[in-house]
Structure 1
Amino acid sequence: MTGISATATILKLKIDRFRGIEALDWNPAPGMNIVLGGGDVGKSTILEAIALLLSPSNALVLSEADFWQRKVEDEFVIQAVVALPPSSEIGQQQRFAWPWEWDGNDAVRPITEDDEESGRAASGPPVYRLQVRGTPDLEINWEIVQPNDDIDHLSAAVRRNIGVVRLGGDDRNDRDLRLVYGSALDRLLADKGLRARIGRRVSEINLAANLGDSAKEALGKLDGTLKNEALPSKLDLGLTSSQGLSIGALIGLMAESAHGVSLPLASWGAGTRRMTALQIAAAGEAETSITAIDEIERGLEPYRLRKLVKSLQAEPAQSFVTTHSAVAINAADQASLWYLDGSGHIGPLLREKIARQQERDPETFLSRFAIIAEGPTEVGFLSYVLERAVDGAFADHGVRVCDGQGNPATLDLLEAMADGGLLFGGFADDEGQSSGRWTELKAKMGDRLFQWAGGCTEERIMSLVDESRLEELIAHPDAGVAAERRVTLAMRLGIDNKSLPAIRTATEDFRALMIAAAIGSKEGAPDDETAKMWGRHGRRWFKFVVGGRELAEKMFVLGVWPSVKPDLLPFLNAVRAALGQAAISDVPHDG
């Protein structure tokens, strides 16, 4: 980024002691930013902080609830490093606002002659430090921090020129549909004399003449009392406005309904109001406006939600969005996704590592506790085990077991989620690849990451079944499935007789033969065509979700659980801990 910014862009946001956030330090991306996270972690507070910082009005009132833990004695500070276009008129402040320089991470003081002599180069484009403070006296101060650390007032005019379109999740989002100072409609019409003209016309209305007789009498008595006390008299009624309030706020957009009746747009549905407000903002000076939308899905059907997300992504203006909608996450294929945890840490979900999961299973990023399982076998296997290990239905606790689409993709996704600060789990095979990365990930995740000690789920479980019960791995309630499994064994041996006695006679290692078929091993195939056929054998065994469940059930029925318990139980207890459940010493394992 070089030169003067073409759009208003928050490059760095720092929040201290505002509402539910004690401290947050964040470098959002240009364009669309989607903030994800659990309930009550502060997602809406971030949007409220941006809206307060850029509020076009001074007529705001603070309360104790706006301060961290209601400690009013500790003022809150919301500061942003902002790149601004010329249309913001930041240079028209009463005192000149000197720019800082952006070094890619923060605002730094511009170079001086001494810096040039010492060889220090200019860091980057000009930016400004804007901040708002809530004082112990419950007052709000909007300020510009100069590069010499002087503090100057940030005028409401500049904040109005920057503009913020704030759509909250509480349905009170008709501000931008009315002529409120700094609203989207106000910036679109840009008629500074309109309020005065409205006021003059309203003043021509004889409001007192419309009073009832008793009201006229009361007003007359008051007029006489004031006159006797040498106070202003000759009273009348008229519409007035006060600081921060305007008669224009009574003027709003109207639209014709399907029945031909003109109604205020503020009375239409939540989704329609939101879409209209954003269209008004887009029709104005889009290079200055910043958009903040809480629960973007509110009031919108899926098709309109997708359209809204796509349109925000296409806009050059910066936007900040929260959502609990899988549709919104799926549609946001060009947005920057962030995860906010309960400690106020916000981290990126790197698109190159999560894109496949974002498209296939966006609910992964909305779960209370997502577990990325390597493939369909692991999804089914783990789901069955969790049903025994977790108190109540695990899905009702917000646990989602997700298909990671293979070992390399699972590793990428788990790393991205770890970097993003998500609370999650992982369940994977050990394919002998990327051991350093897996070790580093294990150090971050602890017992929330489970990886078999060599090999895959099928290998590990089947290798522990007693020799006398191996044939029970082939058995299935559907006789056709059991027959298909025998066919895969016979094919690998190159024999026509598909009976178990014949298969056992033809091999020296019945267990190894079954494992090779169950994992779809191609080793030893005489040609490419046969290798392809052998690679599909796993689908006849456990390589699908239902097959994974079958394998888990057989782990308990065939007495394998005691052997894998030392490895699996710490992981299961880590899941329970994430749900607030006490650790267990065993999982029910009766047949």
Structure 2
Amino acid sequence: MNKLSDEKPNTSGVLSAAARDARMTFGDKAKDQLKEAIEIVNATAKGLGISVGSTATAMLDIHSVAFGSGSISLHDETGIPLRGMGTGSKRLLTAGLHKEASKSKSIALIDEIETGLEPHRIVRFLKSLGSKDAEPTMQVFATSHSPIALQELSFNQVFIVRHDKPGGKTSVLAAPSDAQGALRATSSSFLAKSVLVCEGKTEIGFVRGIDLFRVEVRDKESVDAAGVSLLDCDGGSETRPFERAASFQALGYRVAVFIDNDRPIPEAEATAFVERGGALFHWAEGQSIEDAIICSATGSIVLAILEAAERLNPDDFDLLDSKIKSASGGKLNFEDAKSFAEMDCLSSEQKAWIAKAAGGKKGWFKDIGRMEALAREVVGPRFEDFDEPFKKVLKSIIMWATR
């Protein structure tokens, strides 16, 4: 008597094998039937730096059960579906293909243009959307929080959207032509709530150092958390800080300017800036930031500054010494300055010599890092021992930044 088998046929294995065979057979035939479309995909991927191997191919998707036009997908040369690429690569390829298909004017909407993309690929993505085209074929509406995106765009491609919650109004502000320089040099400032325009790196380092001390020792809110960007004007003419500030004011930003006062402040530009609602911070007449710090300090603070100069310029003692000698006409050297500071018997004239030596070209603290360290390690901890005019300026800056 024959016994009926209880074993079930391996239907899943049979179907899988059939799907693989169908996939391979279809892929061979698709090379000819979809040749033009595949060539477009390959050329677009290559132009955008997207790796699909030597060539992409059209194959059946083995995950599809019901066969139809939706079962066809593009695969790289190893047989992996292109839909498995990273988010950024898929966005790049989609944008490139969209542009290729846009023979007439079309519109693209993109949220967070930088999602999934490294900086160099953001640049390529923007180009693929036509940002550099003389006659674009697409109108693109894109949002972004990337300074890289702003750096790559022209001022007439940038718009700031502001929403007035109490008034229930939304306004769209076009970037003015004079914002182009700021877009290239300080694009991150356009992503902030408020902008503190600084004369140079020294001022930025000073504010950053004080802020670090406040946060670490005083447990205060940082200017970063308050949404303030520190914009570097990188020196230049006396009017440059106000020109940069005007670009941001025109776009509805809250703006302040922090500058030295050793050169005349341009009255017309400063007055117009303040009348538009800007806040202006500067030291006493004739003072640079080095003058303000050193001439407002006690002898023990000046000693700490001199020691910081040695620590932050470990290979340049001869330069430190020669600069004091030069500033004083040979009447003071570095070691004597330390001795007088320790005895708290520095005259106002001697402090001025030290301040002059600390500033200027090749100054002791003339970059962000060194001035940040001085402010964080010396000025912040000894703040209450400085003169009142100095403290008033610094308090005003911090109050504006964190309000």
Using the TM superposition, give the Cα deviation of residue 254 of structure 1 relative to its aligned residue in structure 2, in angstroms: 3.0
Describe the shift of the 1:460–1:345 C-alpha distance in structure 2 as closer, same or farther (beyond 3 A): farther
Letter in 2 for 1:313: S
Tell me, in whole angstroms, the C-alpha distance in 2 between the residues paired with 1:399 and 1:498: 41
Letter in 2 for 1:358: L
Supply the RMSD in Å over aligned alpha carbons: 3.6
SS at match of 1:314: coil
- Whether 1:259 aligns to 2:99 is no
Could you state the TM-score of these two structures normalised by the residue count of structure 2?
0.63
Structure 2 segments unaligned to the other structure (5+ residues): 1-67, 165-169, 341-346
Q: Show the counterpart of 2:200.
A: 375
- The secondary structure found in structure 2 opposite 1:427 is strand
Picking from 358, 365, 371, the partner of 1:548 is 371
Contact 1:345-1:421 at 8 Å conserved across structures: no
Structure 1: gaps of 5 or more residues? 1-247, 521-535, 578-591
Secondary structure of the structure 2 residue equivalent to 1:442: helix
Check if 1:486 corresponds to 2:314: no
Change (3 A) 1:484 1:350: same
- Aligned residue pairs total 306
3-state secondary structure, aligned to 2:276:
helix
What is the rounded CA distance, in whole Å, between the counterparts of 1:444 and 1:388 in structure 2?
Answer: 32
Q: Deviations over 1:252-296 (max 9, x none)?
A: 9731234336x5x66754334433433343234444213332211
Quickly say closer, same or farther: Cα 1:354–1:435, change in 2 above 3 A: farther
Find the aligned partners of 2:306 and 2:327 in 1 and give their Cα distance.
Answer: 15
2:234 aligned residue: 405
- Do 1:281 and 1:289's aligned partners in 2 also have CA atoms closer than 8 Å? no
Per-residue deviation, 1:509: 2.7
Partners in 1 of 2:225 and 2:301 — Cα distance?
Answer: 36
Question: What are the Cα deviations for residues 55-98 of structure 1, in whole angstroms up to 9, with x where unaligned?
Answer: xxxxxxxxxxxxxxxxxxxxxxxxxxxxxxxxxxxxxxxxxxxx
The residue that corresponds to 1:384 in the other structure is 209
1:440 to 255, 258, 272: 272
Among 451, 463, 467, which residue is 2:282 paired with?
451
CA distance in 2, matches of 1:570, 1:497: 35
Structure 1 residues 496, 570: CA separation in 2 closer, same or farther (over 3 Å shift)? closer
Amino acid at match of 1:324: H
Query: Could you tell me which of 292, 296, 305 is aligned with 1:464?
Result: 296
Give the drift of 1:381: 0.8
Q: In proportion to residue count, which structure has more helix?
A: 2
Percent pairwise identity: 22
Deviations 1:519-548 (A, max 9, x none): 32xxxxxxxxxxxxxxx342xx22222332
Quote how far apart the aligned CAs of 1:345 are: 3.0
Residue deviations 1:17-72 (CA, integer Å, cap 9, x gap): xxxxxxxxxxxxxxxxxxxxxxxxxxxxxxxxxxxxxxxxxxxxxxxxxxxxxxxx
Structure 2 equivalent of residue 310 of structure 1: 127
SS at match of 2:307: coil
Question: Residue 321 of structure 1 aligns with which residue?
Answer: 142
* Structure with the higher fraction of residues in strand conformation: 1
2: CA distance, partners of 1:443 / 1:256: 62
Match of 1:147 in 2: none
Q: For the structure 1 residues 498 and 387, does the alpha-carbon distance in structure 2 shift closer, same or farther, using more than 3 Å as the test?
A: closer
Mapped to 1, the partners of 2:98 and 2:71 lie a distance apart of: 15
TM-score in terms of structure 1 length: 0.45
Question: Which residue pairs with 1:270 in the alignment?
Answer: 87
Q: CA offsets, 1:488-508, max 9 Å, x none?
A: 11134554984544999xx99
**Within the alignment, does 1:574 sit opposite 2:400 as a pair?**
yes
CA distance in 1, matches of 2:259, 2:104: 47
Select 1:342's aligned residue among 155, 163, 172.
163
**Are the structure 2 counterparts of residues 472 and 297 from structure 1 closer, same or farther at C-alpha, using a change threshold of 3 Å?**
closer
**Aligned-partner SS, 2:158:** strand
Show the 5 A alignment for 1:82-121: none
- Cα distance change, pair 416–499 in 1 and its aligned pair in 2 (3 A): closer
Cα separation, partners in 2 of 1:339 and 1:453, compared to 1, 3 Å: farther
Of 250, 254, 258, the residue aligned with 1:427 is 258
Deviations 1:387-416 (A, max 9, x none): 344624544554443322125433222111
Q: Is 1:475 matched with 2:307?
A: yes
> C-alpha distance in 1, partners of 2:176/2:71?
42
Choose 375-384 or 560-569, whichever is displaced more: 560-569
